[in-house]
Structure 1
Amino acid sequence: MKTKLITLLLGIFALSSSVHAQNGLAIGSALPKATIKMKDVSGKVVCLDDAKESNGLLVMFSCNTCPYVIKNQQRTKDICEYAKSKNIGVIILNANEGNRANEDSFASMKEYAKAQNYKWFYAVDSNNDLADAFGANRTPECFLFDKNGKLVYHGAIDDSPSDETKVSRHHLQEAMNETLADKPVTVKETRSVGCVIKRKG
């Protein structure tokens, strides 16, 4: 019964996300609003430029409680660690302003980052400034920028967000590998599946 309920809830979240158009940044776009200041779980105030490293930047919109975020927890950590090992900076942004007084509060973010052993930035996207600039609508949703600050990939971590056992292509890692090899990214955009970012109002 519990398994059926979880499956039903995941289906509802996926359906909710599908009604929001995939209207993010166009491939080739420059890193937007890189100087906007955000509070990281460390207590530091940071911007996207602080997270960027010599080979680029991975920006991921996420949160603490979305079932799809939870199902992708290990995959999130693995790809972020992979990025860092390749000198690609990482910043995860929580833009759930509509849930900031509850499970996506700054205090809850700190607890979540500690529990997940994050070794990269996890910051508050106040007023959805960056989610709006990126056109991000879901959690998780990924944007990969190359060493020149140009968007080369937008979408999901892999081709099976709801079931890790059925993954056949690791979209984000493949995009990183191709970018690092100075090759065009084969699959530039995929559909992000997850909860809708909870904006104010």
Structure 2
Amino acid sequence: MKNIKTLIAAFIAGLGLLSFTAINHDKKEAQKETVSTVKGYEVGDEATDFKLKNIDGKMVSLSDFKTAKGFIVIFTCNHCPYAKKYEDRIIELDKKYKSQGYPVIAINPNDPNVQPEDGYQQMIERAKQKGFTFPYLVDEGQKIYPQYGATKTPHVFVLQKENGKNIVKYIGAIDNNYDNPNDVSEYYAQDAVNALIKGEPVKMTKTVAIGCTIKVKK
């Protein structure tokens, strides 16, 4: 009888160990998946092209811009107070650099089921209201922003064309004062593009993006 009890206890302990091992394995796999999902690009990486719907209903890819020397890709949205503060500055970036080969490409990464203000129709209305001069694309399915590693709106990625590839040259904030453009003392995105136009290395290649978190359906 004693031997039977010992065997039963050992069996239960074995099941517990297997369960613990399985749980730990699942946690580790989940952690790996999370890390790989949010890692995104680093400076020097090649950014893959995409095909996203613009507010005019047409699909837009980086490859459509045959004469572009690079791009100012900005993940932004309608509702975020930080994004709203930067809208006029984003328009100015496009007006200043599009003619020099670096157009702005804006992408809304948010799930409209989480934040209805960032729906497609609302994007159309906002772009018309503000007079956007650049493509305003919707990241349907939220597949592009994780590739880039965007975490905020706005979040900037300056790309340069090199041998047919789009190479990441700068990641981060537009400048160092979201609240008041008159108090800006560091123009990160502009400085990066200016350096590329001059054929010089970008001095400040990465800064911390300040903005709202990207809204993801749970």
Tell me the TM-score range normalised by the shorter chain: 0.7 to 0.9
Q: CA deviation at 1:120?
A: 1.4
Comparing 118-127 with 46-55, which one deviates more in the overlay?
A: 46-55
| Mapping for residues 44-193 of structure 1, pairs under 5 Å | 44-51=58-65, 53-99=67-113, 102-148=116-162, 149-193=166-210
Q: CA deviation at 1:147?
A: 2.4
Quick one: distance in 1 between partners of 2:173 and 2:104?
15
Larger Rg computed on CA atoms: 2
Quick one: distance in 2 between partners of 1:119 and 1:167?
23
Q: CA RMSD in A?
A: 1.7
Q: Deviations over 1:108-151 (max 9, x none)?
A: 00001111111211011011111010011100000000122111
Q: 1:52 to 1:123 in 2, by over 3 A?
A: farther
In the alignment of these two chains, the number of paired residues is 178
Q: CA deviation at 1:164?
A: 2.2
Comparing 96-105 with 62-71, which one deviates more in the overlay?
A: 96-105
Structure 1: stretches of 5+ with no match in the other structure = 1-21
TM-score normalised by L of structure 1: 0.83
Question: What amino acid maps onto 2:160 in structure 1?
Answer: D
Is 2:45 the partner of 1:29? yes
Quick one: distance in 1 between partners of 2:145 and 2:66?
18
Q: CA deviation at 1:99?
A: 4.1
Quick one: distance in 1 between partners of 2:110 and 2:66?
23
Percent of paired sites with the same residue:
34
Q: CA deviation at 1:85?
A: 2.2
Q: CA deviation at 1:169?
A: 1.3
- The answer to whether the 8 Å contact 2:71/2:160 transfers is yes
Higher helix share: 2
Q: CA deviation at 1:80?
A: 1.8
Q: 1:58 to 1:52 in 2, by over 3 A?
A: farther
Q: CA deviation at 1:71?
A: 1.1
TM-score normalised by L of structure 2: 0.76
SS in 2 for 1:169: coil
